[in-house]
């Protein structure tokens, strides 16, 4: 891990790390500076959205400039998100409204992955109706479904809906979670995500959910295949130590932790030891040996 102002003990740092087959040194000292390498040798990137590029509807400072720099440098990337409150079309429109370069085929979501993986199967949907357009290959039913499909419903996670899903599980349906994030960052603070409700259904039914999105390796592999790159050639950049960093590393990628969004100092995630830590995505061009331009 390349660290900085959270390094315990206030001791000077000097370490050599191998990234993409090359070594670099990180030299620095506690407490004011976050030190990043001059070059991180990767050929492509997977980039998280909420908490990494923006919070709410506000872009994180330097995020748009970073993406412009990646484009100028010819470094390919894909947006890899666990968002399950919006369809891919809505996510694209939101990114466009905030001034981010985006095409629909660049965005990977748990819903679109589920539509491929579970096409033709019957499901009881515990998901936002806005996702139905991304799940057109599934058959929604309350009559003996094969699966119960859970996404983030926010305030629509009512007792009645959870109890109906529980009854389907107890009647033989299998539990599938689009994602299992514990919480996410809104403009006014942290809020529960789908994970706690998935955990409640697991506990009540005795099942263990099949998870589609991050941190599951197949989700990362789908994005890698689209990039046409091997895992060791790509870094995942995100604010979630478990889903983004540890998940990517489990799939063979480098994990880059940004200290924005849901990141919290002192909250440890077992198994999450980032290859690189940045104050925000604005520091990514320098880590890649580039200099960001003046626009955005």
Where is pLDDT greater, at 275 or 40?
275
Show the tokens assigned to 191: 């809020």
Domain 111-211: state its class: alpha beta
Three-state DSSP state, 216: coil
Show the tokens assigned to 103: 């095409």
Which residue bears the tokens 């295949």? 225
What are the residues facing 123 on neighbouring strands?
A: 140, 147
pLDDT of residue 1 exceeding 60, the answer is no
Show the tokens assigned to 175: 């539990």
Report d(CA 218, CA 278) in Å as an integer. Answer: 26
Report d(CA 218, CA 212) in Å as an integer. Answer: 8
pLDDT reported for residue 266: 67
pLDDT in tens, 243-292: 999 999 999 999 999 999 989 876 666 667 899 999 999 999 988 887 65
Report d(CA 91, CA 122) in Å as an integer. Answer: 26
Sequence-distant (≥ 6) Cβ neighbours of residue 44 within 8 angstroms: 75, 76, 77, 78, 227, 229, 233, 234
Q: What are the structural domain ranges in the chain? A: 8-82+215-287, 111-211
pLDDT in tens, 68-81: 999 988 999 999 99
Q: Could you tell me what percent of the chain has a pLDDT over 70?
A: 82
In CATH terms, 8-82+215-287 corresponds, of 3.20.20.80, 3.40.50.1000, 3.40.50.720, 3.30.70.260, to 3.40.50.1000
pLDDT in tens, 84-141: 999 999 999 999 999 998 999 999 999 999 999 999 999 999 999 999 999 999 999 9
pLDDT reported for residue 268: 63
- In CATH terms, are 8-82+215-287 and 111-211 the same topology? yes
């Amino acid at each position: 891990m390349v660290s900085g102002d959270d390094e315990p003990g206030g001791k000077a740092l000097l370490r050599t790390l191998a990234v993409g087959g090359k070594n670099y040194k990180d030299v620095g000292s506690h407490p004011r500076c976050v030190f990043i390498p001059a070059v991180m040798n990767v050929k492509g990137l997977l980039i998280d959205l909420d908490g990494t590029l923006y919070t709410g509807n506000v872009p994180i400072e330097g995020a748009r400039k970073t993406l412009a720099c990646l484009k100028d440098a010819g470094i390919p990337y894909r947006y890899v998100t666990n968002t399950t409150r919006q369809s891919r079309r809505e996510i694209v429109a939101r990114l466009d409204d905030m001034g981010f370069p985006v095409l629909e085929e660049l965005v990977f979501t748990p819903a679109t992955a589920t539509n491929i993986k579970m096409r033709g199967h019957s499901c009881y949907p515990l998901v936002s109706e806005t996702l139905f357009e991304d799940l057109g290959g599934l058959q929604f039913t309350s009559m003996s479904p094969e699966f119960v499909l859970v996404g983030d419903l926010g305030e629509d996670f009512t007792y009645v809906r959870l109890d109906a899903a529980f009854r389907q599980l107890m009647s033989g349906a299998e539990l599938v979670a689009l994602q299992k994030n514990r919480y996410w960052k809104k403009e006014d603070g942290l809020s529960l995500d789908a994970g706690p409700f998935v955990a409640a259904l697991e506990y009540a039914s005795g099942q263990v959910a099949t998870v589609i999105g991050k941190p599951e390796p197949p989700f990362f592999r789908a994005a890698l295949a689209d990039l046409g790159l091997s895992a060791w050639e790509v870094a995942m950049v995100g604010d979630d130590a478990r889903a983004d960093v540890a998940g990517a590393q489990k799939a063979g990628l480098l994990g880059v932790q940004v200290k924005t969004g849901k990141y919290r100092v002192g909250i440890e995630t077992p198994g999450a030891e980032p290859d690189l830590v940045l104050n925000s995505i604005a520091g990514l061009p320098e880590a890649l040996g580039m200099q960001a331009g003046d626009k955005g």
